[in-house]
Structure 1
């Protein structure tokens, strides 16, 4: 889990770079959501639910990995 301690939340829409829209949350990422053909989406607890519904290419059923602690 220590590898991702500096990861920042990218939710809920799943922007892939620092300039992506909808990624203004500066909380640390706690979960990683698997996506098809895209890098995993790292999100905070607040954006976990919305990212499952709104982010592009989220696998269903979702694959969620705990990468940190709130």
Structure 2
């Protein structure tokens, strides 16, 4: 299994995260892929999800299920 090419990923973190760097960053600009990484280690590994899985995750958070 090959790792997806994240070289063109534009990662961002929530404006609600505050001034510290203890956050996750999300890239949503890749076709068919959402990437998530640790802001403390931007050159480290990233988790990737399909847009459907990511959407279901966010819905679960908003509904208090996660």
TM over 0.5: no
Greater Rg by CA: 2
The structure where strand makes up a greater share of residues is: 2
The structure where helix makes up a greater share of residues is: 2
- TM-score computed with the length of structure 2 as normaliser: 0.25
Q: Which structure ranks higher in relative contact order (CA pairs < 8 Å, sequence separation ≥ 6)?
A: 1
